[in-house]
Amino acid sequence: MHPWVAALDAANKATADFGAALSAQTLKRDEAELATLKPGTLGLHKLKVSLETRKLAGTVRLALEERQNLPAIDAALQAVSAANTELGTLRKDPKAPPARDPVCAMYKEKIDSLIGSTRALTATVKGGSNKAVADAATQWVDVRNKAVDAANSGAS
């Protein structure tokens, strides 16, 4: 094997290991922060949706690696849906007429799209060709990235 190939493989592995460690640390930090947030606040609900969405992403990744992990997506989707429903009930001012906070509305819409895209991906994985699964997975990643962008664009 050419030394460059070995070095490139080692660099790719180191990058992947660093990314995994960073994700795990960020998850621990956010779970600790969630425990400190006041119930009913926008920040708590946005973070709760974000955490459930990250868990969903990991579950989807595992299901794409091995189809036997596909049933786990249902539970992850239920958790995301429940957290997203809670987020959708928040209002900027509790005394205001029933109207969603604009940040909640935007983020909730993106998460609703992610839920739909996850269901479509699951159906494709169950019965689609490798190309159809790859296309659905690419679309799912795009929808997930838009949800992450929406979460990052609004102040909590």
Give CA torsion, residues 117, 122, 127, 130, to 10 deg: 80
Q: What percent of the chain has pLDDT over 90?
A: 58
Is residue 135 scored above 90 in pLDDT? Answer: yes
Q: What is the pLDDT of residues 2-59, one digit of tens each?
A: 888 999 999 999 998 898 899 889 989 999 999 999 987 888 888 999 999 999 999 9
> Which CATH class, in words, describes the domain spanning 39-153?
mainly alpha
Tell me, what's the pLDDT at 156?
A: 41
Q: What is the pLDDT of residue 88?
A: 73
Residues 77, 115 contacting (CB under 8 angstroms): yes
**Contact assessment for residue 64 and residue 56, using Cβ atoms and an 8 Å cutoff:** no
Contacts of 151 (CB under 8 A, 6+ apart): 46, 49, 50, 107, 110
Using CA atoms, how far apart are residues 26 and 85, in angstroms rounded to an integer? 24
Domain boundaries of the chain, sorted by first residue: 1-36, 39-153
Does residue 95 surpass a pLDDT of 70?
Answer: no
The whole-model pTM stands at: 0.80
Length of the chain: 156
